[in-house]
A and B are shown apart, each in its own frame.
Chain A
Amino acid sequence: MDGDEVPYLPRGVRLHHDKVRESWVLLAPERAIMLDQIGHAVLTELDGTRSFAEITAALAEKYDAPQEEIAKDSAGFLRALRDRRFLEVRE
């Protein structure tokens, strides 16, 4: 994913707090994906206006970690979601 792309969750894909399993899940057509802390942290940053670079910069500051590392880790996760059409991007 390029730094200037704006990732967002399309209609029909949403975050849900699962009270029974005490976990955050991503609900999508025919899928419920249990999220770990990192996955949840990345997805809650998606607001449909900020670019991937802005999001990873924010996460780097919040978690006091190198932005490059965060970008690398979250790009793979977001790509997998994009391949399943659970994530869209705007230029």
Chain B
Amino acid sequence: MNAQTPTVRPPIAMLAELTHRCPLSCPYCSNPVELARIDQEIDTATWKDVFRQAADLGVLQLHLSGGEPASRRDLEELVATAREAGLYTNLITSGIGLSERRLKALDEAGLDHIQLSLQGTTPEMADEIGGYNGGFKRKMQVAEWIGAIGFPLTLNAVLHRRNLHQLPRALELAVEMGARRIEVATVQFHGWALKNRDTLMPTMEQAREADRIVTEARARLRGTLVIDYVPADYHSDYPKRCMGGWGSTGLNVTPDGKVLPCHAAESIPHLSFDRVTERPLRDIWYKGAAFNAYRGTDWMQEPCKSCERKTVDFGGCRCQAMAIVGDPNATDPVCIKSPHHGALQAQAAAHSSSEGADLVYRVSPKKTAETIN
């Protein structure tokens, strides 16, 4: 490393994708298109060891996700271990698979916070998008139990062309549920969502309307509901500072124990990933090839290399540069300085005006190797 590469600091957050199993089949699922099977999932003892290593490494925030993390029967035990290790434990769930009894057990285990996903504000919308009948009704029941136990709650509303008109109601729903916080997340196009751009891409008008609604609601609900907003990516002028900068803030562990710099990193074909079963987490973070591939600014090419924003957004998302431009070292094409920006905007306009395409749902991971072969 030369003088341009800042000293590598310890990670703050870890996303533990406990399983790829999920009762829902959302067409924008951020899991990779190749899902890990149940017989590939790392076991309870390995996860516990990973949590202790993460705390020793400097991780403060642990996000327990999936798939649906409640699909893991050892969830309560894993939460208890993570808390003992000193981690702040956040459960990212659809609510499906959580009973009142399990929530009470999670309370006893010390779970700090719950983030509940929202696919729509009506049963018709939510169940169609999630591909799971009765899911919305169940989720509303789970939200009541969460409130009764007293867990702090964030509602995570995923929005796209089909349901962006429900944003005002999603904000009301969050207040009614007693959520302290809502994430208004416009779909990002990775994984399964790339297959559904024709149905999910918001129009430019929708994107601007969402900006307006969020700005107004932030002022009106100040001190009541915190609104974190992920705007429509393809309709922006500058890219997102993905993961707070590659290998600078957070890491992901997949159900089969691979350690990734971001959840979509496996879409970059030249990268290879270490496993928690083969190498200490500390080594992987500081010395792993995948983590060092896009750390800092040395890897950049023009227009990033000489750009005054290069340490603001670090050239945006490497996976998006790969998916759209075919080069993971390229400037994220969302950036107005990218030579591919015009083409991306034209593509976004075409996707957002396309009609009649059906949703391509995520399929469930296969149960065993035999059923694949």
Q: Which residues of B contact A18 (CB under 8 A)?
A: 58, 60
Within 8 A of A (CB), among B211-227: 222-226
B113:A12 contact, CB within 8 angstroms: yes
With A16-B86, A29-B90, A85-B226 as known contacts, state yes or no: A10 contacts B152, CB within 8 Å.
Answer: yes
A83 to chain B, nearest CB (A): 6
Q: Are B152 and A16 in contact (CB under 8 A)?
A: no
**Known A16-B88, A20-B10, A85-B181: A25·B60 in contact at CB below 8 Å:** yes
Query: What is the chain B residue whose CB lies nearest that of A84?
Result: B226
* B-facing residues in A14-49 (Cβ within 8 Å): 14, 16, 18, 20-21, 25, 27-32
Contact of A12 among B56, B58, B112 (CB under 8 A): B112
Is residue B228 contacting chain A, with contact meaning CB distance below 8 A? yes
CA distance A30 to B185 in the complex (A): 15
| Distance between Cα atoms of A76 and B88 in the complex (Å) | 26
B10 touches A21 (CB 8 A): yes
- Evaluate whether A32 and B151 lie within 8 angstroms (CB atoms) in the complex, with A16-B86, A85-B226 already known: no
Q: Are B90 and A30 in contact (CB under 8 A)?
A: yes
Contacts A11-B152, A16-B88, A85-B226; A30 near B10 (Cβ below 8 A): no
A residues at B contact (CB < 8 Å): 10-14, 16, 18, 20-21, 25, 27-32, 82-85
10 contacts between A and B (CB under 8 A): A10-B152, A14-B112, A27-B61, A29-B113, A29-B154, A29-B181, A32-B61, A82-B223, A83-B222, A85-B180
Beyond the given A21-B10, A27-B61, A29-B180, please list 8 additional residue pairs across the A-B interface where CB-CB is below 8 A.
A12-B112, A20-B56, A21-B58, A27-B112, A29-B90, A29-B113, A29-B181, A85-B226
